[in-house]
Amino acid sequence: MKFEDLEVYKISMELSDKVWTIVEKWDFFKKDTIGKQLVRAVDSVSANISEGFGRNTFRDQRCFYYYSRGSLYESKTWIIKAYRRNIIDQKTYYELLAAFNLLGVKLNNFITSTTKLMNEARQQEANNQDKNISQ
């Protein structure tokens, strides 16, 4: 499996492209303040998923998936600020919020499955050590 096949990666890439399309239409001041922060944060979601996927241990992977979730929450904050400051309209705000919330659920499930795999690998290692001791 490649990281590009992961559902959370695909969704995060689509969301970052959508945010880019919205932000590129803003005037300079809005882009320079909220826009850059928002784009960097939302781009970081998929970047951390791919970096985590490339790590050798489940623990390292999970760490980067947590970074990804943190970036997702940061992105959500920038969307809230953009709405409160009348940079995006209500329809766009609710569409983005729904997309962020969906990705959050998917990402949490992905982190949970990685944790489960990590725990299973630990248990298997412990079982193998017990077998080696008893032999």
Q: At how many degrees (to 10) do helices 7-23 and 36-53 cross?
A: 160
Per-residue confidence at 83, pLDDT binned at 50, 70, 90?
Answer: very high
Architecture of domain 3-134: Up-down Bundle (1.20)
- Look at residue 2 and tell me whether its pLDDT is greater than 70: yes
The Cα–Cα gap between 28 and 111 comes to 37
| Residue range 33-52, pLDDT digits in tens | 999 999 999 999 999 999 99
**How many other C-beta atoms lie within 10 A of the C-beta of residue 40?**
14
Look up the pTM and report it: 0.87
Cα-based distances in Å from 94 to 63, 65, 71, 124: 29, 25, 19, 45
Task: Examine the pLDDT at 23 and tell me if it is beyond 70.
Answer: yes
